[in-house]
A and B are shown apart, each in its own frame.
Chain A
Amino acid sequence: TQLLEQSPQFLSIQEGENLTVYCNSSSVFSSLQWYRQEPGEGPVLLVTVVTGGEVKKLKRLTFQFGDARKDSSLHITAAQPGDTGLYLCAGDRTGTASKLTFGTGTRLQVTL
């Protein structure tokens, strides 16, 4: 079983703070995706990282894929209440995203 462990599980911060969420595994992945899920909705894809060491930026969100393609991080700068949600990483070992392994999730709450 390929496990993707996310940390922290829960994070409650104030608006304007920075935070980092980690996604770790002992398995190598062809690619890794980050999703955000809001209550009552399906996960929404934020980014896909493919190359070891790759860094992608999406406005205030910075995603990094580890050099060995076993781990990833999501850094949010100057968090806003709109960033509140469940952040999920999902790894692909098939190379075709035909079977994603999802992480345990990080629930982020950003308060005013």
Chain B
Amino acid sequence: EPEVTQTPSHQVTQMGQEVILRCVPISNHLYFYWYRQILGQKVEFLVSFYNNEISEKSEIFDDQFSVERPDGSNFTLKIRSTKLEDSAMYFCASSARRQALHFGNGTRLTVT
């Protein structure tokens, strides 16, 4: 069964550094999402993306965050200057039609 793949599985970075989290959504999917889950807390919505533009974003998704679909297969989340509180598991998801999200296994970001 096709799946959403995320790389790397674990990223360690120093505070203030830029990170790019990568996702390869399922190939025929049109809707793309990023969510995050801070350890011990609930899954939180960051951003949704359709037709090469952001559909919705949360208050968390400030100017430090950006998303891009640089080619036909990748979907990336960039954090320009990481903060300690950005440490979390970041999940990418995609869907062919709305309401049927497929999540990847996440990238664990640790900011030191």
The chain A residues found within 8 Å of chain B, CB to CB, are: 31, 33, 35, 40-45, 48, 88, 90, 92, 94, 96-105
Shortest Cβ distance from B59 into A: residue: A1
Mark contacts of B43-84 with chain A using CB atoms, 8 A cut-off: 1 yes-contact digit, 0 otherwise.
111001010000110100000000000000000000000000
Q: A57 vs B16: C-alpha distance in the bound complex, in angstroms?
A: 48
Q: How would you classify the secondary structure of chain B's contact residues: helix, strand, loop or mixed?
A: strand
Known contacts A42-B103, A43-B91; A99/B98 CB under 8 A:
no
Say which residue of A42, A45, A98 sits within 8 Å of B98 (CB atoms). A98
Say which residue of B35, B99, B104, B106 sits within 8 Å of A33 (CB atoms). B99
Q: How large is the interface on B (under 10, 10 to 19, 20 to 34, 35 or more residues)?
A: 20 to 34
Known contacts A42-B104, A99-B48; A105/B98 CB under 8 A:
no
Pair B105/A98 contact, Cβ less than 8 Å: no
By Cβ-Cβ distance, the 7 closest A-B pairs, closest first, are A42-B103, A102-B43, A97-B99, A98-B48, A99-B56, A97-B98, A96-B98
The answer, yes or no, to whether B87 is at the interface (CB within 8 Å) is: no
Known contacts A41-B105, A99-B56; A48/B100 CB under 8 A:
yes
Pair A44/B44 contact, Cβ less than 8 Å: no
Pair B44/A98 contact, Cβ less than 8 Å: no
Pair A97/B42 contact, Cβ less than 8 Å: no
Residues in A with CB closer than 8 Å to B33 are: 98
In the assembled complex, the CB of B46 is this many whole angstroms from the nearest CB of chain A, namely 10
In the assembled complex, the CB of B58 is this many whole angstroms from the nearest CB of chain A, namely 7
In the assembled complex, the CB of B22 is this many whole angstroms from the nearest CB of chain A, namely 15
Identify 16 residue pairs between A and B in the complex whose beta-carbon atoms are under 8 Å apart, listed by A's number: A33-B99, A42-B104, A42-B105, A43-B103, A44-B103, A45-B100, A45-B102, A88-B43, A94-B56, A97-B99, A98-B31, A98-B50, A100-B35, A101-B45, A102-B42, A103-B42
